A = this chain, B = another copy of it.
């Protein structure tokens, strides 16, 4: 037995020995991956799962063999997870992931660059900037545009509205980050549709404006913003002395996948001198497809746009981006840090901390870049089109079904429906019973106050047969629930 402490071999080094240790451990980690024996999750109850997991000792005095730790993760955690690649995992915008992204995650963690400063991430900083420039071009924004990676759509939306708030304040010569909200802020409002993501309200709450400062504009029956309603709201606000500091267009609502009329909203935002943010967390990927791209027309007019790579770009969490139409907009956020961003570095040394609400930050741009390069645009377009086609097909099956009622024609990748003769409690039972037995992870939501079930298609490997099967399962469960009433 050597006296060398065991931890020496557990620190990642990039020499030959270190790479051998890492390669061995990686193959054990892959071999330890498990999934539930059938369906998208196991049938353990929350209580049983609690008992199982709390039997693990988090930090024993003396460490446990790595192979055992990974095997335990496999049998106790992965085996009782949810499987996003299972055709019956259709509740959320929760994608299966791509091989190039997953293995690049390992490389990201082994090399551990931190995106806040150039001297912690020299090449990585350039990769993130390069990816953002590509995204700007995809969005057809001006060349002045750039962006930053964030931890998710919520964080991207919060960052966008932080910039919008500073923008509004600057117009009245207030540095809101320095001196706080001015009295005028009582009249500031953020507009979005009544189907916009709740993170818009959360952002307004975080920023000190409150959820009440968000005005929900009515939507049409398809769930996209009603421009006439927007005009009414704006006129009423003018009369009431209220100021729209930001108008948010949603490109892909969470429940219906609806895309707001972006160009029309952009025109109103410009007229009222409001920041135009597009939350394209859901549908931004459609830009990759020539067939689907026209649906996002107008996004190129945005002051900022949220793109979630961890949705329809099939990236592991977390990977989102906020893009702005002019990189100088990030100056609205800039904080000088004595140790990270002094401003007296060599030319070309960009410290990304100046455009982020985070400090230390993971090099998530690497996995996105690896995925885009490996898949290529045509393949990604094909995958998206397959998902859109699947949801169209699901819509037609549900429309044709005597017991089901489609609540809106499917846009993008989801399909929302109700069951005739079933109340909200019945729908809840259907969803909870399927979840409890591990047979299906079905979505459940509310559309304009009406309870609904939801299928979200995130797996391009799913087929129309899978859709038929899912609808059958839901109907069978409905019969069981309603029949037992």
Judging by beta carbons under 8 Å apart, are A8 and B373 in contact? no
Judging by beta carbons under 8 Å apart, are B152 and A359 in contact? yes
Q: Mark A108-147, 1 if CB is under 8 A from B, else 0.
A: 1111111001111111101100110010001000000000
- Judge whether A272 is part of the interface by a CB distance below 8 angstroms: no
Judging by beta carbons under 8 Å apart, are A107 and B121 in contact? no
Q: Mark A57-93, 1 if CB is under 8 A from B, else 0.
A: 1111111111001101100111111111100000111
> Which stretch of A222-230, A362-370, A474-482 is in the interface?
A362-370
Given contacts A180-B209, A373-B69, contact A58 B131 (CB under 8 A): yes
- Whole-angstrom distance between the alpha carbons of A73 and B363 in the complex? 13
| Minimal beta-carbon separation of A464 from chain B (angstroms) | 16
Given contacts A107-B73, A360-B152, contact A112 B97 (CB under 8 A): yes
Given contacts A28-B103, A316-B108, A357-B202, contact A45 B379 (CB under 8 A): no
Judging by beta carbons under 8 Å apart, are B338 and A446 in contact? yes
Partner of A366, one of B77, B124, B382: B77
- Judge whether A378 is part of the interface by a CB distance below 8 angstroms: yes
Judging by beta carbons under 8 Å apart, are B178 and A210 in contact? yes
Residues of A within 8 Å of B, CB-based: how many? 187
Q: Note all chain B residues with C-beta closer than 8 A to A91.
A: 119-120
Given contacts A57-B373, A59-B134, contact A12 B106 (CB under 8 A): no
Judging by beta carbons under 8 Å apart, are B7 and A114 in contact? no
- Whole-angstrom distance between the alpha carbons of A127 and B363 in the complex? 25
- Judge whether A104 is part of the interface by a CB distance below 8 angstroms: yes
Judging by beta carbons under 8 Å apart, are B179 and A13 in contact? no
- Judge whether A10 is part of the interface by a CB distance below 8 angstroms: yes
Judging by beta carbons under 8 Å apart, are A206 and B357 in contact? yes
| Minimal beta-carbon separation of A356 from chain B (angstroms) | 9
Judging by beta carbons under 8 Å apart, are B373 and A58 in contact? yes
- Judge whether A318 is part of the interface by a CB distance below 8 angstroms: yes
- Judge whether A5 is part of the interface by a CB distance below 8 angstroms: yes
> Which stretch of A46-54, A259-267, A294-302 is in the interface?
A46-54
| Minimal beta-carbon separation of A59 from chain B (angstroms) | 4
- Whole-angstrom distance between the alpha carbons of A105 and B316 in the complex? 10
- Whole-angstrom distance between the alpha carbons of A29 and B65 in the complex? 24
Q: A59-B376, A83-B111, A197-B359 are in contact. List 19 more A-B contacts (CB 8 A).
A: A9-B99, A10-B375, A22-B103, A23-B30, A26-B103, A45-B348, A59-B377, A62-B378, A63-B375, A73-B107, A73-B369, A80-B123, A84-B112, A103-B106, A154-B357, A177-B211, A208-B209, A318-B358, A342-B444
